[in-house]
Amino acid sequence: MAKDTRLREQVNASFRFVVDIDGQRQAAFTECTLPSIEVEIEELREGGLNSYVHQLPGRRKAAKVTLKNGIGKNELLDWYIRSLSEPVDRKQFTITLLDLQRNPVLTWTMENAYPVRWNGPNLKSDNNAIAIQSLELVCGEVSVTVE
């Protein structure tokens, strides 16, 4: 391992969420808001039954993922920019949570994902706060793997 890579790993220990697109490592993030997987409920009122309402499971609601404060290749931003002018390019998107030794702990795999929002950093010359970018993606099926 190169000296600068080893130093980067020690200094940036907080970058614990790594992102792969179609099986290729693209970036690492300090913050990740995972999708809320929720099922719509369809209420069915039965005539003559006034004590309760039947609640039947419906479709799964749309899932979104938000990644903040990332470092990595330009592929994620390029993917978003391409999606603004071209047909949506859906990809398999994987987020892996790493422990302190950089071993995988949990992996979330999202099928048919594509970026829908990018928020650039707020830049102020009189402020010494970190410039944080965020990327929001929507996705299809979500699966979780415990390593």
CA dist., res. 21 & res. 121, Å (int): 23
pLDDT under 50: residue ranges of the chain: 1-4, 7-12
User: In sequence order, what are the residues at sequence separation of 6 or more whose Cβ sits closer than 8 angstroms to the Cβ of residue 18?
Assistant: 25, 27, 28, 29, 95, 96, 98
pTM of the model: 0.71
CA angle 94, 61, 70 (to 5 degrees): 30
Q: Are strands 134-139 and 142-146 parallel, antiparallel or unpaired?
A: unpaired
Cβ-based neighbour number of residue 24 at 10 Å: 10
Give the tokens for residue 11: 């200094």
SS (H, E, C) 115-132: EEEEECCCCCCCCCCCCC
Give me Rg for the CA atoms of the chain: 20
Cα(14)–Cα(95) distance, integer angstroms: 15
Q: Which fold has domain 3-146?
A: Pnp Oxidase; Chain A (2.30.110)
Label residue 98 exposed, middle or buried (CB < 10 Å: 0-12, 13-18, 19+). middle
Instruction: Parse the chain into domains and list their residue ranges.
Output: 3-146
